[in-house]
Structures are given as C-alpha cells and as structure tokens.
Chains A and B, each alone.
Chain A
C-alpha cells in the first residue's frame, strides 16, 4: 500500500485539521492527532497507554501513585485509550486506583480483553474486570490472543448489540497466528484488531493493515518499543541528522512517529511508568508525520545500526 503525505494527512482526524482550535469534544487538547474509528467515525487520539508489566505493581503504594501520576499526565496531555487485560495481574486494580483518584475522567476510552479458555467463564471475567476498573461498561472488549475466540466473539457482539459494550475486537502479539487473525477480520463484524507493529516488526503491513482498511477495522499497534528493548538498543546510537524532518525529538518519538504515520494504524499503545515518558509519547501525536519516502529512510537507518 502506497503511503503519501497526502494520504497521511487525510487519515488524520479533526484534531489534526484544527491544531490550534479550542478544546474539542471530551476536552480534546489542541494539537493531538486523532484518527476516526472506522466503524463509527469516533475520533481517537493516535497515542494511547498500554499497561502490560508497567502497571502490574501489586499493592505497592509508591508504585501505585506513580501509575496514577502517569494516568493523570496521560489524560492532561490529551490521551484517551487505556488498554489492559486480566492476564496482566494487578494492572487492572492499578488502573482502577488511578481512575478513582482522577475522578473517572470523561475522556477515558477503556479497552479491555477477555482471556479465558472456558467460554462459560467469559462473562464473569468481564464483570471482574469492570469491578477492578470501577466502570459500568467498557468501550472496547477484545478477545485476547484469540483464546476461544469462536465462543467469545458471538457473546461480545451480543453484548455490543445490547449496549453493554461499544466496540468489539481481537488481539495478537509478536506476529503470532496472523492467518487466523485475517480469517476473523474477513469473516466477523469486529471494530478493532490489535497486533504488534514497530519499525522492525512490520509483518502486518503486507496483509493485516490492508485488510483492516478494506474491512473498516481500527488497528491498535502494540509493542511499539518491543517492551523497551528497542529504546535500550538505540539510545546510545546517534540520532539521524534529518530527525527534525520526522517531527521527532528523540528515539521514542522517532519510533512512535513511524508507527502512527501508517494511515491504517488507528492508535499505538506504548506503556511506561514515567510521567516524562508519557508526555513525550503524547507529543509524538502532534506535529508532522513522515510520508512514505521518509518512512523508508527511517527503516533503513534503524536496520543499518
């Protein structure tokens, strides 16, 4: 799929078109790029917040406060989507703690997962997740890593029809079960698909991203930094002299800009425990995005390091 600067700009939402406008609906701060969720047109900021590992802090009060501060900075900076899973141990209660502390920001877009092989227990697991978050319903419920998806998906679609969910999706990570993901995308009326996408893991570009555009499915990109490994590998390497052309200030933004500049990507969900990092990540959702030529140059540069 050819990506031009025009295509990139067209893929952006109203937040991008009106960068200096006053706060939009739900208090959208100016300058944060949004993309529409294809099935509804609802704009969503292109940078969200993942919680794998980073929010799994048990009942450690110091670390729970740190996570709440990250969430506060995330919402203040214009973020909306927080993504979690029952698989992430205490991440859900940590989110719940942060949300209570912040008074349940109206702009929250809650993305959760059902992750249980016994389909009969899916409803109970979703109810437990709601209790951890302290919300009445989730915006998005995804079948985690395709676990028992044939059984869970019809239930989730029924819940959506009954107004108990707003969107339904499926997830995978690290390139696993892509053929099956494509099968679900082609045959099921899902709103979201979540998969790994970063400057080195680009397998979804060939089939999943084009299929998502064709089927009007929103795409959440996970593992943008390969759980921090990419940042650790690159941080001692020289930034390219043409960095400013990408709109980035540092390696983290360079990597995020690459992901969100693909027009089929709706949202990327970097995880962090640091307020300065969440601000940096959100900053990547502003300003210019690289077009196709520059994206190719970014790939070549990183692969050559």
Chain B
C-alpha cells in the first residue's frame, strides 16, 4: 500500500476544534460590526444587479474582490495561518482570486438574463451566502460568535460570489471557479474532520453552483 493510503482525514488536522472556533470568535469580536457592513454592502450591489441595472452588473464582481482580499489578509494570512501553515498558500490563492474578480469587469457577461434558472438560482445562492450562512454556527451547535459572514470568512464569501456570478450571467467561469471550488472542498473536509455539521455547507455550495450552471445551460438550449 502506498504511504498516502495510511493517512486519514484527521491526520491532516493540526489544531483542535476548540482552537479553531475560538480563533473565529476572537476575529469576529475584534471587527464587529464590520460583518453587518459587508452584508449591507453586498446587498447594495446585488439587488440592482439582480434587477439588471447595467452598472451594478458590471461592478458587482470587481467590488467583491475587496471582500476576497480582506478575507485573505485578515483571516487566512493574519489569523488562520498561525495555526495552519498551509493557509499562507490559501491566502495567496484568495488574493489571486481577488485579482481575477477585478479582471471580470473585462470578461463577457450574458447580454440580458443568463437564463431564468441560473438567475433565480444565483439569487438564492447569494441569499444563502449572505443571510443563511451566519446561522450555520447555531445549527452546528456552536456559539453565535463563531458565525461565518460574507467578507469576513471564506465559505460565505465563496457562496455569495458564486451567486453573484450567476446573477450577472458571468462568462468564462472556467477562470473564476477553480480557486473557490478547491477552497470549498478543503474547508468542507476540515470541518468534517472536526465533526462539525457545518461541513455540509461548502459541499452544498459547490453542488448547487454546478447544478445551476449545468441546468441553466440545458434550459438555454431547449428554450426557444
């Protein structure tokens, strides 16, 4: 058997759940109420984008790059990397994704609706990322102070960004999807190794996004 076959998921977990969730708790307390500012700012951009305002559609992803950069700098690099050395690489990937989102202003978008299913599904995904994700901590039996919110924590930032991509009918998604998807897999496996119920959420975000993209493409083809 190869040496890699002897490893289990928990072998890669180098910190305890207590340390991880206390880290999030302290981070949230330090920046409160910035979490609300991020959520309000995202809604301020997403509502007109969902209503097809051209400027909002063009601006939403480039402006979301600020959330990615903040997350990379303040959470991944400054805090999470202190208990998980691999997070310095994740921070670099998040900064790269922030750059790609800025570039999204130059990438094509569908001229009008990107297909009803994609558009409405994107709204649903963004609402989940912004308003549902913070309550996952409670569902998982954790203190509210460990809530994950858009712009502060990676997972809801990914979910909301995926929603925004679908809302604005972003093209060239092969460029914008890989980093967030890899992150969601990593995050889900980490939470799984910690026996946290929240582990299901990042996987659900990937599945929902891919289903909406594929189903949207199918309906685009069959709808005259």
Q: Which residues of A contact B (CB under 8 A)?
A: 52-54, 56-60, 62-63, 87-90, 174-177, 227, 273
Apart from A174-B6, A273-B16, 6 more pairs, CB < 8 Å: A52-B14, A53-B16, A56-B16, A58-B23, A58-B82, A63-B19
Which residue of A has the minimal Cβ distance to B16?
A53
| Interface flags, B99-133, vs A, CB<8A=1, else 0 | 00000000000000000000000000000000000
Given known A-B contacts A53-B15, A58-B83, A63 and B22 have beta carbons under 8 A apart: yes
Chain B residues near A227: list those with CB within 8 A: 10
CA distance A63 to B19 in the complex (A): 8
Q: Is the CB of B3 within 8 A of A176?
A: yes
Chain A residues near B14: list those with CB within 8 A: 52-53, 56, 87-89
Q: Is the CB of B15 within 8 A of A60?
A: no
Residues of B1-42 whose CB lies within 8 A of A: 3, 6, 10-11, 13-16, 18-19, 22-23, 26
Number of chain B interface residues as a range: 10 to 19
Q: Is the CB of A60 within 8 A of B3?
A: no
Which residue of B has the minimal Cβ distance to A62?
B22
Q: Which residues of B contact A (CB under 8 A)?
A: 3, 6, 10-11, 13-16, 18-19, 22-23, 26, 79, 82-85
Q: Is the CB of B83 within 8 A of A89?
A: yes
The list of the 3 closest CB pairs from A to B, nearest first, reads: A58-B82, A58-B83, A56-B15
Q: Is the CB of A90 within 8 A of B22?
A: no
Chain A residues near B16: list those with CB within 8 A: 53-54, 56, 273
Q: Is the CB of B23 within 8 A of A177?
A: no
CB distance from A33 to the nearest CB of B (A): 30
CB distance from B5 to the nearest CB of A (A): 10
Chain A residues near B6: list those with CB within 8 A: 174-176
Q: Is the CB of A60 within 8 A of B26?
A: yes
Q: What are 14 A-B pairs at a CB distance below 8 A?
A: A53-B16, A56-B14, A56-B83, A57-B15, A58-B19, A58-B83, A60-B19, A60-B26, A63-B18, A63-B19, A89-B84, A90-B83, A174-B11, A177-B3
CA distance A174 to B6 in the complex (A): 8
CB distance from B99 to the nearest CB of A (A): 27
CB distance from A176 to the nearest CB of B (A): 6
CB distance from B194 to the nearest CB of A (A): 11
Chain A residues near B18: list those with CB within 8 A: 63
Which residue of A has the minimal Cβ distance to B15?
A56
Chain A residues near B82: list those with CB within 8 A: 58-59, 89-90
CA distance A100 to B23 in the complex (A): 24
Q: Is the CB of B83 within 8 A of A57?
A: yes
Chain B residues near A57: list those with CB within 8 A: 15, 19, 83
Chain B residues near A52: list those with CB within 8 A: 14
Which residue of A has the minimal Cβ distance to B85?
A89
